[in-house]
Amino acid sequence: MTILAFDASTEALSVALYDRKRAIDEACFEIAPREHANKLLPLAQGLLDRHGLALSDLEALAFARGPGAFTGLRIAAGLVQGLAIGASCPVVPVSTLAALAARALAAVPGAAYAQIVQDARMGEIYTATFARNALAVPRTAERVIAPQDLAIETGGDVVRAGNGWALLDITIDSDLMYPHARDVAHLAAAAWARGETLSAEQAVPVYVRDDVARKPAAVR
């Protein structure tokens, strides 16, 4: 199947085109704060053009649905909604944290679990832990908490990923700090095979934290 996937959940942005049968697995990735709205669509068009594909050739669109930066999530969801309506194809939302877990577990083959910590701003973090063979369902639920409330998993079978570890003064591999649309596409292909798709109108962000009006001083 042919999937076009987007991630705009952090200051990084990425677009990926994936089709296993056609041996297509190409992605574009940039650290480009506040440029998501300007860059995502041209990057996607470039990928399609390089492989001689049109929007109508897509079988699904996918996006990192969150948690993450509110503005970026809305941009990605809105873009995917519009493209899905134009292409008359379904949408596959993918957890941003699961995409990071997939990236981390691929980088460390010996790890059984991935503990993900993303900077949620306002003095908090998004976190969840995923098992290698169960990325569709987190081992610990996605949640937003204060960094000091995190129970850090230890052991040689755990790999860490996400840009929130810096808030805990823990250094990780720089390649595992940001989610990537390539991992979104791969997870979306598996979800599509399981029949886990949505209509364009149902493709909305998952914020985990719903209160965007709080000021940092209000956070404990």
Model pLDDT, residue 211: 53
Asked if 171 and 202 sit in the same domain, the reply is: no
Model pLDDT, residue 210: 67
Q: How confident is the model at residue 209 (pLDDT cuts 50, 70, 90)?
A: confident
Asked if 11 and 62 sit in the same domain, the reply is: yes
**Tens of pLDDT along 62-79?**
999 999 999 999 999 999
Q: How many domains does the chain divide into?
A: 2
Asked if 91 and 183 sit in the same domain, the reply is: yes
Asked if 193 and 157 sit in the same domain, the reply is: no
Q: No. of H helices and E strands in the chain?
A: 4, 9
Percent of the chain with pLDDT over 70: 95
Q: How much is the pTM?
A: 0.94
The CATH number of residue 135's host domain is 3.30.420.40
